[in-house]
Amino acid sequence: MLIKRPTDICPSEITDREIYRARRQFLQSVPAALAVAAAPGLFATPAFAAEKLPGVRKNPFSTNEQATPYKEVTTYNNFYEFGTDKADPAQAAKTLITRPWTVFVEGEVKNPRTYAIEDLLRLAPLEERIYRLRCVEGWSMVIPWAGFSLNEIIRRAEPTGNAKFVEFVSLHDPKQMPGQRSGVLDWPYVEGLRLDEAMHPLTLLAFGLYGEVLPQQNGAPLRLVVPWKYGFKSAKSIVRIRLVEKPPVSAWMRAAPGEYGFFSNVNPAVDHPRWSQARERRIGEFFKRATLPFNGYGEQVAQLYAGMDLKKYF
């Protein structure tokens, strides 16, 4: 269950203190931070050289659980565009250039738009949301994301009556993304949500974590975060958001349709063929814990699937 985060808890109290002190000195004012954000090199800085995002406000859609340390969040990643080992993205993603960056919002909409990343950052106030992240391999984290609800973009696009689903397409550039030179997946990376899932206020378009610009290895410069679904549903380095009539076929559905379904809701009762989903290991903890249906967000999202057989529609 989500509960409000106490107002007297500051970011330094949920961060490993050694890591917190080692990070670059925060900018002192919003105007100064905005000036840095406009600089061409900001979104292309190497891992662990991020700057603070200005004006991030608290949001009640947060868990009160201890956040995973920044170092773990930024060095243990699934991002196959930069390698299949968890440590690969933190090293290989330094080649990713994230300025300039353009996102197309298109398809079954009355108002298609082309956004520069700077325009998106000004579209709505940024909020800190501390969400659980559960991966299909059986590990989990708690991450303080910074962003706003995806529905801010979708509402402005004005979906037509034919729009039933939303497709997300990630950057395809093998020069920048060495993992795309392999055949591990059919590139570009594609994911999708039902329109009502995409419009749910929990569905986040994230630009940062721990109050800082999103590192390359975590999906810079913007990524999806759908906290009640397995981590692979949260597309990274997004360049296109398409509203479509039929369910998109995701990269993992194309690669292994018997293992990865369209919905991919966290469900301890439905095992992956290679991994049990009944328990999970929180990064930084020794003992496993029970996996929660919908990753603990059932109170907010279970009604989206009323009457559905969630073992059949996995």
CB contact at 8 A, 207 and 121: yes
Of 113, 144, 143, the residue nearest 126 (C-alpha): 144
CA–chain centroid gap for 60, Å, is 18
- Residue whose structure tokens are 């930024």: 74
| Cα(291)–Cα(88) distance, integer angstroms | 27
Return the SS3 of 156: helix
Return the SS3 of 28: coil
- Helix-strand-coil percent breakdown of the chain, rounded to 5? 25, 25, 50
Q: Cis before residue 112, ω within 30 degrees of 0?
A: no
Give Cβ neighbours of residue 129 (< 8 Å, ≥ 6 apart): 59, 61, 62, 144, 145, 146, 147, 204, 225
Q: Cis before residue 221, ω within 30 degrees of 0?
A: yes
Instruction: Give the pLDDT score at 314.
Output: 93
Q: What is the DSSP code string of 168-221?
A: EEE---TTT-GGGGSSSS-SSPEEEEEHHHHHSTT-EEEEEETTEEPPGGGTTT
| Cα(178)–Cα(255) distance, integer angstroms | 19
- Residue whose structure tokens are 């410069």: 221
Give Cβ neighbours of residue 306 (< 8 Å, ≥ 6 apart): none
pLDDT in tens, the chain (314 residues): 444 443 333 333 344 433 333 333 333 333 333 333 333 333 443 334 568 998 999 998 899 999 999 999 999 999 999 999 999 999 999 999 999 999 999 999 999 999 999 999 999 999 999 999 999 999 999 999 999 999 999 999 999 999 999 999 999 999 999 999 999 999 999 999 999 999 999 999 999 999 999 999 999 999 999 999 999 999 999 999 999 999 999 999 999 999 999 999 999 999 999 999 999 999 999 999 999 999 999 999 999 999 999 999 99
CB contact at 8 A, 97 and 176: yes
Q: Tokens at residue 17, please?
A: 């203190």
pTM of the model: 0.84
| Cα(101)–Cα(115) distance, integer angstroms | 8
Q: DSSP letter for 272, please.
A: B
| Cα(203)–Cα(206) distance, integer angstroms | 9
Q: DSSP letter for 159, please.
A: B
Of 89, 225, 70, 199, the residue nearest 146 (C-alpha): 225
Domain 11-305 grouped into CATH 3.90.420.10:
yes
Instruction: Give the pLDDT score at 139.
Output: 97
Q: DSSP letter for 110, please.
A: S
Burial 37-51 (b: 16+ CB within 10 A, else e): beeeebbbbebbebb
Q: Kindly report the average pLDDT of the chain as a whole number.
A: 87
* H or E, element range at 118: helix 117-121
Backbone angles phi, psi at 93, to 5 degrees: -75, -5
